[in-house]
Amino acid sequence: MSPEKTCRGTAKKVRSDPEKFHKMANKKAERHLNRFLKKLDNKAEKMLLQIDFVGPVEKWLWLGILGLGIAIAFSILGLEVLSGLCIMVALACLLVWKIKRALT
């Protein structure tokens, strides 16, 4: 069926009974919106479940990120030796996290 015929058929339906067509369009839009919101809720739930601050593997990630943040603060304050130590510890934590995550 060509697009022209489809458009003409839709136009005829709208002209013949505009209220009925409007109700059908609203139901369809509402159904699509509900489906979209359900998908969005599922994705948000999955994303929230993936963040684990106290998990045995994920704690290494957060320790590494915290260590890098502290290292940046020390470097701004001019404490390069402490900053270097924090960077080494943070990178070690991130390495442990990467290895443990690969093993699980």
Provide the residue range defining the domain that includes 30: 3-47
Do 101 and 60 touch, CB atoms closer than 8 A? Answer: no
pLDDT in tens, 60-79: 888 888 888 888 888 888 88
CA dist., res. 16 & res. 1, Å (int): 21
**pTM of this structure:** 0.47
The answer on 59 and 38 residing in a single domain is: no
The answer on 57 and 31 residing in a single domain is: no
Residue 55 CB neighbour total at 10 angstroms: 13
The answer on 88 and 67 residing in a single domain is: yes
The answer on 56 and 99 residing in a single domain is: yes
Residue 11 banded pLDDT, cuts 50, 70, 90: low
The answer on 57 and 95 residing in a single domain is: yes
Tally of domains in the chain: 2
The answer on 58 and 80 residing in a single domain is: yes
The answer on 60 and 37 residing in a single domain is: no
